[in-house]
Amino acid sequence: MDVLRSFLMDVYRRLSAHFGPRHWWPADTPFEVIVGAILTQQVAWRNVEQAIGNLKEAGHLSVDGILSLSEEKLGLLIRPTRYYNQKARRLREICRLIQDNFAGDVEAFLNQEAAALRAQLLAVRGIGKETADSIVLYAAGHPVFVVDQYTHRILQRLGLAHGRESYDDLQRLFTSNLPRDAALFNEYHALLVALGHHICLKARPRCEVCPLGDVCAYQAGLTAAARAGEAGLN
Ligand code: SF4
Query: Does the Cβ of 218 fall within 6 Å of ligand 1?
Result: yes
Query: pLDDT tens digits for 141-158?
Result: 999 999 999 999 999 999
Query: pLDDT tens digits for 162-183?
Result: 889 999 999 999 999 999 999 9
Does the pTM surpass 0.75? The reply is yes
Residue nearest to atom 2 of ligand 1 (CA): 207
Distance 88 CA to ligand 1 centre (A): 37
Q: Please, which pLDDT band fits residue 221 given cuts at 50, 70 and 90?
A: confident
Query: Does the Cβ of 210 fall within 6 Å of ligand 1?
Result: yes
Using CB atoms within 10 Å of the CB of residue 133, give its burial: 0 to 12 exposed, 13 to 18 middle, 19+ buried: buried
Query: pLDDT tens digits for 58-94?
Result: 999 999 999 999 999 999 999 999 999 999 999 999 9
Of ligand 1's atoms, which has the minimum distance to the CA of residue 206? Answer: 7
What number does CATH give the domain 30-139? 1.10.340.30
Sequence ranges of the domains in the chain: 30-139
Q: Name the percent of the chain in helix, strand, coil, to the closest 5.
A: 65, 0, 35
N residues, the chain: 234
Query: Does the Cβ of 170 fall within 6 Å of ligand 1?
Result: no
